[in-house]
């Protein structure tokens, strides 16, 4: 196997991330893992850390600058540790299992008394995923490029009814489910489809690409959006009184250049949450939208491990209309569209150890 072949494959392994769309838009779902082509059977362990702060509000692609200026914006701090075990069965087949550990902090005015900023938090294991992968072309003969397909199941192991205290009055609080954006799980059993690919122009220069989609057939998970209160009539009418279980997606691609054991890569990443699911209904509360990011990364490959740092930063953020937004627009005869908070960038750092 030539070295660029190995480097690009490890790059994809090291930079896989949960598709959180850097803010309030998407709830939890795991993006793809690409195993390296190799004749050697064995295990790899990937530990990937990611952090972002979302605080800029958008309606469509228009930023709501007044939210920051008046201090009414929502601020989410999100930290995630993804632990993935990868088993290489032979040169074409591999399996992987990912267990995420999550910590979130969310501060706002409107969720509490509307005047004083308070915070809610959540911590725990997210939704785990088990997947199988196959290289479609024989790695022994396809040295310049290859395509890997993956199929998996996402399990509802994360808590989707996590609760914390909301301060509705200065001297009292009420216990209720935290916002959808900081729930560790989504409550649905999902199916994941993946495509990972690369092509080498030379021993130093190559391209990579990937596609990931999570199908969540369950429509709603029953978790209240009233934050310890009673849902109002409008929420009940448009089914936003409980949280949805939405699909997730990610598409990425770019160039990779190797200098000795160091690989420098850069590309474009698009991830988000659609307003309509492929299977199942679209009712329930969700903040659909997507973010387009430039994704630079650096990977260093040692004998038994590789180390990666990636910092995707936002180029475009779009909070699209949800099912309830569309239904309200039709009933009211005017355009209705909710907002969502996004981050400027996220920081991802990981290590892959060959056991």
159-188 pLDDT, tens per residue?
Answer: 999 999 999 987 889 999 999 999 999 999
User: Where does the pLDDT of residue 5 fall: very low under 50, low under 70, confident under 90, or very high at 90 and above?
Assistant: very low
Residue 14 confidence (pLDDT) above 80: no
Joined together, the tokens standing for residue 72 give 């009414």
What are the b/e assignments for 321-331, b being 16+ CB within 10 Å?
A: bbbbbbbbeee
192-218 pLDDT, tens per residue?
Answer: 999 999 999 999 999 999 999 999 999
Question: Sign of the CA dihedral 67, 69, 70, 75?
Answer: positive
Helix ranges, the chain (H): 3-14, 65-70, 233-237, 323-332
Radius of gyration for the alpha carbons in the chain, expressed in angstroms and rounded:
21
**Which CATH number do you get for residue 314?**
2.40.128.130
Q: Which helix (H) or strand (E) holds 101?
A: strand 93-108
Q: Which helix (H) or strand (E) holds 195?
A: strand 190-200
**Spacing of C-alpha 145 from chain mean position:** 27
Domain total for the chain? 1
Q: What is the mean pLDDT of residues 116-145?
A: 96
pLDDT value at position 41? 81
In angstroms, the CA 125 to CA 80 distance is 10
Residue 319 confidence (pLDDT) above 60: yes
Residue 15 confidence (pLDDT) above 80: no
For residue 69, the cross-strand partners are none
**Spacing of C-alpha 224 from chain mean position:** 22
In angstroms, the CA 250 to CA 259 distance is 28
pTM score: 0.90
Give the structural domain span for 125.
3-354
Residue 321: φ, ψ to 5°: -75, 135
pLDDT value at position 24? 56
For residue 197, the cross-strand partners are 147, 209
Residue 258 confidence (pLDDT) above 90: yes
Residue 328: φ, ψ to 5°: -65, -40
**Is-contact 189 218, C-beta < 8 A?**
yes
**Is-contact 45 88, C-beta < 8 A?**
no
DSSP notation for 143-187: -SEEEEEEEEEE---S-SS-EEEEEEETTEEEEEEPPGGG-S--S
pLDDT value at position 172? 87
215-255 pLDDT, tens per residue?
Answer: 999 999 999 999 999 999 999 999 999 999 999 999 999 99
A 10 A CB-CB count for 80 gives 22
Residue 61 confidence (pLDDT) above 80: yes
């Amino acid at each position: 196997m030539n070295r660029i072949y190995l480097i690009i494959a490890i790059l994809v392994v090291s930079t896989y991330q949960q598709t959180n769309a850097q803010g309030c838009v998407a709830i939890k779902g795991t993006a793809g893992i690409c195993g390296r082509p190799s004749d050697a059977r064995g295990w790899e362990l990937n530990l990937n850390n990611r952090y972002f702060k979302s605080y800029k509000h958008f309606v469509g692609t228009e930023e709501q600058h007044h939210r920051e200026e008046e201090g009414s914006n929502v601020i989410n701090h999100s930290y995630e540790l993804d632990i993935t075990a990868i088993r290489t069965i032979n040169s074409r087949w591999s399996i992987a299992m990912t267990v995420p550990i999550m910590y979130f902090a969310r501060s706002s005015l409107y969720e509490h008394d509307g005047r004083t900023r308070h915070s809610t938090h959540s911590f725990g294991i997210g939704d785990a995923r088990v997947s199988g992968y196959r290289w479609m072309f024989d790695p022994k003969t396809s040295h310049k490029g290859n395509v890997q397909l993956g199929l998996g199941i996402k399990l509802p192991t994360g808590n989707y009814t996590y609760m914390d205290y909301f301060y509705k009055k200065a001297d009292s609080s009420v216990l209720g489910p935290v916002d959808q954006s900081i729930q560790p799980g989504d409550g649905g059993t999902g199916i994941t489809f993946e495509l990972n690919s690369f092509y080498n122009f030379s021993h130093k220069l190559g391209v990579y690409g990937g596609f990931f989609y999570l199908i969540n057939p369950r429509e709603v998970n029953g978790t209240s959006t009233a934050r310890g209160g009673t849902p109002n009539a409008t929420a009940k009418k448009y089914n936003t009184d409980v949280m949805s279980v939405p699909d997730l997606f990610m598409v990425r691609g770019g160039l990779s250049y190797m200098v000795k054991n160091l690989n420098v890569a850069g590309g474009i990443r698009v991830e988000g949450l659609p307003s309509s699911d492929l299977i199942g209904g679209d009712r329930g509360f969700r903040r659909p939208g997507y973010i387009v990011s430039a994704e630079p990364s650096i990977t260093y490959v040692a004998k038994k491990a590789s180390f990666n740092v990636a910092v995707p930063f936002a180029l475009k953020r779009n909070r699209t209309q949800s099912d309830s937004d569309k239904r309200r627009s039709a009933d009211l005869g005017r355009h209705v569209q909710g907002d969502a908070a996004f981050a400027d960038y996220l920081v991802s750092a990981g290590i892959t150890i060959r056991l």
